[in-house]
Structure 1
């Protein structure tokens, strides 16, 4: 027998039940236990359906908000109880709580319940447990994580694999919960799985091991969920340090990743001279020139650099990456990621609403460094530092920066002395519409109006998609035409 130990929510080892020494945690392990669901978004609903399909007689309790409660009760499941108040005491009444990824396990009620023995697990863990082979590995599963670029990288991976004739699932944090494709038929040849920092630990908790894990970069992010920069890094790296993939594909230019020691994984580097890397815009495999990437639909050098990560992963799967590389020319860029919405009255509108860190805003500015740019920054304040961004503006600033949102005043004050020295226009706006009006006035009919806020959308908008759609609408374009992510799910 082995104990179920949770170290994610608190520093203690939280042990309540034992499972057979079989290895990965599967849905049937919940049979006969007291089980709750926490959250009723798309991930929560997927977890409910997956558990109910395999354990139709298992009593479940759902913790959710009042709006979600009405939807859940409409299912008319006599074995599903719905509660709208989530306390440590109620959570502690359960052996297992299947938690939606957006809910932090570091919340006080979760930490308290964990110390009393409740084990928190996510849908990602259940999927990996169900798909592990006898050796514990999930074959042909490529997990992609990183602070910046993971969605584009995962989508590009799926695109190239499909171009090679392989049925590939594009799933995970990108928009299709893993449990929605738990029993996908026919089984895809490969799984391209995007994992957020909210989900990487779930892979480790599953007891399963991915065949390949790709790590692009590590910057400060999601500090409100993780609690600190150090904890964010530790959680992000659990995909490598605890899930122990068969092959780890790492960015050789990232100082945090370069310092990792992974004795149980084979490490393959990208961005280094002996592997897939760029020299200017030219793609190389070692000393072999492969192709020029300058015309590829991958805006920004960082995205072209991530092509090197994709090709390294494809090579790790045993496929000919050099043959598939030219198919990147047919890739369709994802919405809300350096997305050109259109040009009107001499101004090109670029939607980078997915940008939630100052580093992402800097990368966006680099794409348009030779253009007249008015940059819109600011949003929900998670306490991320903007000092590096301000320092960069001393060297290479756009024509104008307009701040907005909850952390807008903090960014504005930080940039005021820089603007005086650097000669760029600095404005403060009440909201997105006001910011766009100010930016349009500065551009005066020529240049790029770039939404790359470097902060989440919470408060003003439901999510970054809603923010990007509003940006397009305010610019005079159809928001429905910019929002679809191509290729989600399982396709050939």
Structure 2
């Protein structure tokens, strides 16, 4: 849908976070006198009132009946369409759209887009795509769920040659005909938003099953992806001996040696596999990915993703606050095999099964596990029987500073103190970035120095 199609219609916006602000600004850019209603929280209403927009009505009380009074509701991504009042309003006739859908309505026909999704690794992979394309001399946009709403780049002059776009499972259904669509992996996540694991998978895969991409890049080792049938799309597989893949520390393209990754700024095997995905996506665009691969050496890792803050008193402090599944926490620990590790886990309880985590540490335990947050007691209960043999310690903490101190004592001046929660940050923190900043502060580092995502926007 194009923004011009909203002219003269009854339109509301729901949510006034960064995506909501971008949507309002875009509508005002194209439809300056269109009457609009904004549904937002009381804490956001003051900022909206300060706009002094005579055609904007602000309502801090949302309901299905109120939403159904509008033909179109531009909804922020974090609001689930499967729960009340959105689901009830949809039954009454309200049509919900997202800012991502509006951007694709404006640009989808002519923009050369590489859209990346996956339960884990999508931000790093998208940033790698942008970094490598720019290193090859191509003006490239880096935007989407990575931290810059697409609608903030509505009318760039001059337009970029390529768009590297990260999409969350909340946004994949809004994409239209991307030139390349990448799906990295699928693990249960965001079940509170999607309702069921199957719906999460279906929504995630909408990028390749409904968006009608020209090229699809898939991880051959993910069982759910390996069995996909995508008629009409050209499928490119990575993580397979016939495509881009990793053997030990070396990236291969089929049987051809391309790059030794031992000295790349990409911690963990999973990040080197993300590089394989990025190279496969660039190749699907018709470019010489092998020629660009060495440029990964100058990539700047993203914050809150296995981010080493530095060392104090013999302990390395690592911020992996982006970790929101037990699988991500396990991948983080794998990066520090052979070193003493104290890991901090826990946060918002979405009901995910921590059995896989428990099974792994029963065979390859860290020095200590400290649990936090709403699901902390449940995780601790699951792990405590495994700790009875004395191979690792288990502790519970109410606050992050207490957890850091417990972990610091257990490490006794050597090893890695790892924040990899395996759970979302709310309601204790606004988002994973705020949690990562607090972790840095508690550990004695400057939180402002760790937060910038390099390369956002058009370069």
Q: Same fold (TM over 0.5)?
A: yes
Q: Equivalent residue for 1:209? A: 177
Quick one: which of 433, 445, 448 aligns to 1:480?
448
| C-alpha displacement of 1:73 | 1.2
Distance 2:345 2:33 in 1: 50
| C-alpha displacement of 1:279 | 0.9
Quick one: which of 123, 144, 150 aligns to 1:151?
123
Helix, strand or coil at the partner of 2:74: strand
Distance 1:422 1:315 in 2: 50
Give 1:311-350 correspondences, 5 Å limit. 311-350=279-318
1:446 aligns with 2:414: yes
Cα deviation 1:360-413 (Å, max 9, x = unaligned)? 000000000111000100011111111111111111111111111110000000
Cα deviation 1:325-349 (Å, max 9, x = unaligned)? 0000000001110000010000100
Contact 1:401/1:425, CA 8 A, preserved across alignment: yes
Distance 1:35 1:318 in 2: 41
Give 1:111-122 correspondences, 5 Å limit. 111-122=87-98
Quick one: which of 388, 392, 395 aligns to 1:424?
392
Q: Equivalent residue for 1:361? A: 329
Helix, strand or coil at the partner of 1:313: helix
Give 1:262-281 correspondences, 5 Å limit. 262-281=230-249
Q: Equivalent residue for 1:5? A: none
Helix, strand or coil at the partner of 1:210: coil
Quick one: which of 153, 167, 191 aligns to 1:223?
191
The runs of 5 or more residues in structure 2 that have no matched partner are none
Q: Equivalent residue for 1:41? A: 17
Distance 2:160 2:237 in 1: 27
Contact 1:393/1:422, CA 8 A, preserved across alignment: no
Cα deviation 1:108-160 (Å, max 9, x = unaligned)? 11111101111100000000010132xxxx54100000000111111111000
| C-alpha displacement of 1:175 | 0.7
Q: Equivalent residue for 2:113? A: 141
1:489 aligns with 2:457: yes
Question: Given the superposition, is the C-alpha separation of residues 240 and 142 from structure 1 closer, same or farther in structure 2, using an over 3 Å criterion?
Answer: same
Q: Provide the TM-score with structure 2 as the length reference.
A: 0.99
Q: Equivalent residue for 2:150? A: 178
Contact 1:394/1:421, CA 8 A, preserved across alignment: no
Q: Equivalent residue for 1:128? A: 104
| C-alpha displacement of 1:422 | 6.3
Give 1:5-404 correspondences, 5 Å limit. 25-133=1-109, 138-203=110-175, 208-404=176-372
Cα deviation 1:261-295 (Å, max 9, x = unaligned)? 11021110001111110111111001001121121
| C-alpha displacement of 1:229 | 1.0
Cα deviation 1:236-269 (Å, max 9, x = unaligned)? 1111110011000001111111111110211100
Q: Equivalent residue for 1:9? A: none
Distance 2:235 2:435 in 1: 38
Q: Provide the TM-score with structure 1 as the length reference.
A: 0.92
Distance 1:425 1:132 in 2: 53
Helix, strand or coil at the partner of 1:307: helix
Distance 2:308 2:204 in 1: 30
Helix, strand or coil at the partner of 2:452: coil
| C-alpha displacement of 1:54 | 1.2
Helix, strand or coil at the partner of 1:209: coil
Distance 1:157 1:196 in 2: 17
Runs of 4+ in 1 over 2 A off after TM superposition: none
Contact 1:171/1:178, CA 8 A, preserved across alignment: yes
Question: Given the superposition, is the C-alpha separation of residues 422 and 145 from structure 1 closer, same or farther in structure 2, using an over 3 Å criterion?
Answer: farther
Distance 1:249 1:183 in 2: 28
Q: How many pairs were matched up?
A: 459
**What RMSD in Å do the two structures reach over aligned CA positions?**
0.9
Helix, strand or coil at the partner of 2:189: coil
| C-alpha displacement of 1:93 | 0.4
The runs of 5 or more residues in structure 1 that have no matched partner are 1-24
